[in-house]
Structure 1
């Protein structure tokens, strides 16, 4: 009995010119822009947030799907969410995307973290050459180990392209050498704490939506845009009129319409200080409904450092808890296997200059009982169970 390939269609061979033209057309259609890859759940295009552990949390898509927004709420006066915004903007500039910054001045781009130095110890192993002698019985399993061909068949980017870069908070990103561009948005108004006197001033949110729509329509169809909205409704960045529910909800409605209209070109990352606007208020709940994903950061109280800062146990200690309130869902099956497990697990996060923001399951450290010191100089007692021998 001989092994013969089945399901082989016998037909006349096509001309070489037609075959090459069809292959070139198929390759051009499947080639993606830098920083994009299809979701393993439903194949829609995704982009990285600049934080690898956050990408793995988003409903199993492995990144932030294009045409969606992510709201990051933070309790307390820390700025962990601001660090996530910097990673998000830096990743877009390195990939050649257009980054639109709201509220911050143009000098904010000089505060972005730089690329981390490559690890000399962890050199990538060179791929082994395929053996010349192949088993005839395993002809159908030849392509299983070829990741490059599998990636090309799925329409992914080239294997050499990096989807999520590693950044170092101790460095600064050279914006002039990055292919991406930072676009400052129209001013959000003079920041003030007096809400009564400036309550009649017009909100700049309508001008921002108009400006963003113009940028999307005038740019190339293949250009990817990222919108950075830091500390939404904070009185230090936004005028008093922006805090009105009629203004901010209309702004989020307009942003949601732009995300759905340009579902293959635009993403948005929004942060909200919940110590100023708690989740118990109706305004914040409506804002959560208008965003595709909602994540809350709860910093833990700082403890005095007993060990040295170089201690690995001290560095890896969680600095806060992370709660997932909503994740993008695109179909009736739930949007990915990671969505259900992320809601049930207790997650924590830690931030370091070299590793960045790392999200992992939260677990209490094991309890170690203190050993009672033994009395060396105490004489041996001859009393046992109250009886003296």
Structure 2
């Protein structure tokens, strides 16, 4: 038998708080370029490369408060292009971009935003009726993960998560809503300096970033760009000591955990000078939330030369066939995981399959599963056998 009257509402009993409904207009709106992760709702931002966003453990972008380490073999600069996309995306979205190593003139190398009416803008035509899925009518809206990022691209206005960039153009000041903040230099003032610098450049950079973040409002988004860490032409010999670089990564990791809703970072590392077999690189990988490696493929001597930037920006009606050929392999060593189920989503299979990447001015750097092309001799043999069978059937 209950002691509560039937006509009495439980929420109006004395001592029970009445839930307050917050209007939709008063809810906190996310910052430009930020959206919740489809896995756990964490705020994520775009790296400027749509296929890389889809690779990051199914979050659809780089979660705030995390760091991504991009390793590259050889003398190519594909990782540097990813950094330019990352910095350009931040400037277009109104974020604060902190540049380490390079002077502020580096901003003139950032790619420009592709206009929707230009030739390099990826066409988004409606699928043909025969290309639709035949499973059921309610599954027709589901697309492929390889093309899911293309629909996120748009103009540089509000509501765009990942922009399209043109490598043949340069980022104009009118398109920049954010600001680029150069950090203290990591190079010694003179090459004939007899003794090392009195203070560590990495420690000075960490103090500089700490001061900038402490004075910034909580709604501002910050990005840290660290290109080619430990490269002798950008960093002094003192920075290459394990005690210096590991303390720098520890300090950056502390900043990421202290500002989990404001800060992200991308670091590149040349593995030709510092291979993954060394203990220093292994420790650096442990201090980063995500680690991927770019392995460029040797150029095909029989293939035609790639088009120049002037020809790419010309009146080319269709996509270039040379852009379809993979230019390197991509290995995923670590991806951000945030819950007990392991996360991963659509990107969980990236550990099991071989990935490749290709770079073009029209589509940027595209990551996709790698598959060996058919041999030309086998194709010619199959065509010859097919034509021979047709002739024999006609004569018979």
Query: How many residues are matched?
Result: 324
Matches within 5 A, 1:101-180: 101-119=99-117, 122=123, 161-180=159-178
Is the Cα–Cα contact under 8 Å of residues 169 and 353 in structure 1 kept in the other structure? Answer: yes
Structure 1 position 307, deviation (Å): 4.5
Instruction: State the secondary structure of the residue aligned to 2:249.
Output: helix
Give the aligned partner of residue 270 of structure 2. Answer: 273
Deviates more, 1:175-184 or 1:255-264: 175-184
Give the aligned partner of residue 293 of structure 1. Answer: 290
Change (3 A) 1:61 1:353: same
Q: Are 1:48 and 2:46 an aligned pair?
A: yes
Give the aligned partner of residue 313 of structure 1. Answer: 321
Structure 1 position 177, deviation (Å): 4.1
CA deviation string 1:21-74 (max 9, x = no partner)? 9554x4332411100000000000000000000000000000000000000000
Change (3 A) 1:227 1:261: same
Query: What are the ranges of 5 or more consecutive residues in structure 1 without an aligned counterpart?
Result: 1-9, 12-20, 126-140, 145-158, 375-389
Change (3 A) 1:162 1:372: closer
Q: Which has the larger radius of gyration?
A: 1
Is the Cα–Cα contact under 8 Å of residues 348 and 362 in structure 1 kept in the other structure? Answer: yes
Matches within 5 A, 1:31-110: 31-110=29-108
Is the Cα–Cα contact under 8 Å of residues 191 and 240 in structure 1 kept in the other structure? Answer: no
Instruction: State the secondary structure of the residue aligned to 2:27.
Output: helix
Change (3 A) 1:181 1:73: same
Instruction: State the secondary structure of the residue aligned to 1:186.
Output: coil
Q: Are 1:352 and 2:360 an aligned pair?
A: yes
Is the Cα–Cα contact under 8 Å of residues 73 and 294 in structure 2 kept in the other structure? Answer: yes
Is the Cα–Cα contact under 8 Å of residues 47 and 63 in structure 1 kept in the other structure? Answer: yes
TM-score of the pair, normalised by structure 1: 0.77
CA–CA distance in structure 1, aligned partners of residues 333 and 195 of structure 2 = 34
Give the aligned partner of residue 365 of structure 1. Answer: 373
Structure 1 position 179, deviation (Å): 1.1
Is the Cα–Cα contact under 8 Å of residues 32 and 158 in structure 2 kept in the other structure? Answer: no
TM-score of the pair, normalised by structure 2: 0.76
Deviates more, 1:327-336 or 1:286-295: 327-336
CA–CA distance in structure 2, aligned partners of residues 312 and 64 of structure 1 = 30
Deviates more, 1:341-350 or 1:331-340: 331-340
Change (3 A) 1:246 1:349: same
Is the Cα–Cα contact under 8 Å of residues 58 and 338 in structure 1 kept in the other structure? Answer: no
